[in-house]
Amino acid sequence: ETGVTQSPTHLIKTRGQQVTLRCSSQSGHNTVSWYQQALGQGPQFIFQYYREEENGRGNFPPRFSGLQFPNYSSELNVNALELDDSALYLCASSLEREQFFGPGTRLTVL
Amino acid sequence: SQQGEEDPQALSIQEGENATMNCSYKTSINNLQWYRQNSGRGLVHLILIRSNEREKHSGRLRVTLDTSKKSSSLLITASRAADTASYFCATDTNDYKLSFGAGTTVTVRA
């Protein structure tokens, strides 16, 4: 167990809807990163937050947005859901270079 | 595009045998990390090897890194059924994000 938790575990949405995914980081970790993992592929970096500021972003459109709170927990928001957004969403917390992942949220867009 | 690429894509071995998988990457790295993923759930951090290290051990795992060839290998010795999983290498460049390959799926037969 890494101490990183994510909610919900599973989620089903329809195209065009909005979704919020949540992540609680491991105690003491001030950095949270979000990844999208499509079926059969490796995780793709979405963005990273360090001390409540976005610290880097991957090749994802602006409808993917995030927040980090003072307790270092984080949210990933996706607007105007598309079918291709169906994936496992992983968050990872870190203090230095090692990233520790949560169990993920499985999002299905119908 | 993905920075790390694992080889082979899939591996089937008998319990007790060794499993070796390789990772190649394209650009200079700060470190390289190996992760395990069971059944599409969260990633478990296995080992981190820094760019100035050549070999690292953790239990039954042995990781090598050759920065001149931009490649790494993960060896699992005396495999067990519980080692059945997907294994990913992830490269950490200086921008803190991890870039993953598509993974190697390992099946350990009883």
Work out the number of other CB atoms within 10 angstroms of the CB of residue B20. 15
Nearest-by-Cβ selection for A103 from B31, B42, B103? B42
Q: What is the mean pLDDT of chain B?
A: 92
CB-based contact B97 A90, cutoff 8 Å: no
Between B2 and A80, where is the model more confident? Answer: A80
Contact B56, B63 (CB under 8 A): yes
Q: Alpha carbon of A12 to those of A15, A37, A43, A82, A87: distances in Å? A: 10, 16, 20, 12, 11
Report pLDDT for B41: 82
CA distance B73 to chain A (A): 17
What parts of chain A have a pLDDT lower than 70? 1-2
Report pLDDT for A26: 86
Give the CA angle between residues A8, A39, A24 to the nearest 5°. Answer: 30
- Tell me whether A95 touches chain B (CB under 8 Å): no
Report pLDDT for B3: 66
B96: Cα separation from own chain's centroid: 18
Instruction: Please tell me the total number of residues recorded for chain B in this structure.
Output: 110
Report pLDDT for A95: 81
Contact A58, A46 (CB under 8 A): yes
Work out the number of other CB atoms within 10 angstroms of the CB of residue B57. 11
- Tell me whether B81 touches chain A (CB under 8 Å): no
pLDDT in tens, B52-106: 999 999 999 999 999 999 999 999 999 999 999 999 999 988 667 899 999 999 9
Report pLDDT for B42: 87
Report pLDDT for A1: 63
Bridge partners of A92, per DSSP, are A33, A101
Contacts of B29 (CB under 8 A, 6+ apart): B51, B67, B91, B92, B93
**How many helices, marked H, and strands, marked E, lie in chain B?**
0, 11
Instruction: Return the percentage of chain B with pLDDT > 90, whole number.
Output: 79
| Residue B1 binned pLDDT confidence (cut-offs 50, 70, 90) | very low
Outline where DSSP puts E strands in A1-110.
5-7, 10-13, 19-24, 31-37, 44-50, 53-57, 64-68, 74-78, 87-94, 100-101, 105-109
Q: Chain A residue with minimal CA distance to B1?
A: A44
pLDDT in tens, B12-63: 999 999 999 999 999 899 999 999 999 878 899 999 999 999 999 999 999 9
Size of interface A-B (CB pairs under 8 A): 67
- Tell me whether B47 touches chain A (CB under 8 Å): no
Report pLDDT for B97: 84
Contact B40, B103 (CB under 8 A): no
